[in-house]
Structure 1
């Protein structure tokens, strides 16, 4: 009886030791920390400013107390909406379009097992594909062009309006007009004396 009892005790101890070893080496889902499953934007992704309206983080299980911040390449914080929970997802709205450049999403949540977890997601916002025209170039293109012929027209019109007096002193034209009047007076006077002499000779 004593020998048989010792055998049963040894067998039970061996089974208990094997169960303890199995439980110790096998991870239990209840004690596994949650992890980030996916994100939008994804890590090292390149996105356009117009398409980035919100940040979405999805975890392997439901999380609590989400904290999400966004920084640019200089470390300046970019305003975001308050993070909200949607099951295993955390969503934060992006306030306004982002300028082109590098950014980093820093997040922190409390796992379903009560353990806090955190991480960072770098990404880049692409720049504009079409260059912006300079203001001076636009003003030059919109301004009406003046042809050489149009520029020369005012000079020609000014020369024509000046008339023959251009380059000739006014007193010369006055003297010439006086001579014309005097000559006409002499001719008229001579024409009047002609008939008087004819009448005298007839008498």
Structure 2
């Protein structure tokens, strides 16, 4: 009898030891989107899946510097908790903080770090290139109107030096050239007659 009661006591103790961890274990996070340490180009919805039904979910999002990012109200559907990201996330490091009440009534919390590497916006370069093109196309229209004015003034400017030459010279240039030749010929003839 003593041996039998001893074996029953040992078996009961073993059952208690084996069942205790299962009884003490709380629900846990099974998966998340984004996953821990993931790199994403954008994020619209945070999704957390737990090993059992949870309630009273709280989800927050903050930058690496601790600045909070606005989220929609956290919703729970049995084991899944979702929260909408209400604005685009710039590139950088972020941390999701969550808190739920597990099926055994105990609150559990956790954090999920991840990184956003947003794609570079493409409209900006096209806008920058289209703006100079528009200014260049508009430039000839404004520069055409003043062009005729210098062309009309040019004959008057050319006429002024011509009248100045006539007033300064007094006589045409060919008259001076013929006179110089006559003087040279006269001097030559005088020298020739003197030698004779």
Task: Verify same fold: TM over 0.5.
Answer: yes
Residue of structure 2 equivalent to 1:143: 135
Matched, 1:114 2:112: no
Residue 24 of structure 1 corresponds to which residue in structure 2? Answer: 17
Aligned counterparts of 1:74 and 1:32: Cα–Cα separation in 2: 34
Q: In 2, Cα distance between the equivalents of 1:143 and 1:164?
A: 34
Shift of 1:139: 2.8
Name the CA distance, whole Å, in 1 between partners of 2:61 and 2:21. 35
| Alpha-carbon distance change, 159 to 94 in structure 1, aligned in 2, over 3 angstroms | closer
**C-alpha distance in structure 1 between counterparts of 2:50 and 2:134, whole Å:** 56
Relative to structure 1, the CA distance from residue 152 to residue 64 in structure 2 (aligned partners, 3 Å threshold; closer, same or farther) is closer
Pair 1:53–1:165, CA change in 2 (3 A): closer
- The higher radius of gyration belongs to 1
Gaps of 5+ in 1: 1-7, 173-203
In the superposition, the TM-score normalised over structure 1's length comes to 0.65
2:80 to 81, 89, 103: 89
Q: Deviation per CA, 1:48-104, whole angstroms, max 9, x where unpaired?
A: 22xx22111000000122111000122111111111110111111111221221111
Name the SS of the counterpart of 2:66 in structure 1. Answer: coil
Matches within 5 A, 1:156-195: 157-162=148-153, 164-166=155-157, 168=159
Per-residue deviation, 1:135: 6.8
Q: Could you tell me how far apart the structure 2 residues matched to 1:68 and 1:108 are?
A: 7
CA–CA separation in structure 2 for the residues paired with 1:110 and 1:153: 78
TM-score, normalised to structure 2, is 0.67
Contact 2:45 2:82 in 1 (8 A): yes
In structure 1, the residue matched to 2:92 is: 101
The verdict on how the C-alpha distance between 1:144 and 1:120 changes in structure 2, with shifts beyond 3 A counting, is: same
**Shift of residue 27, structure 1, vs aligned partner:** 4.3
Once superposed, which parts of structure 1, at least 4 consecutive aligned residues long, lie more than 6 Å away?
none
Mark the CA change 1:166 to 1:87 in structure 2 (over 3 Å): closer, same or farther: same
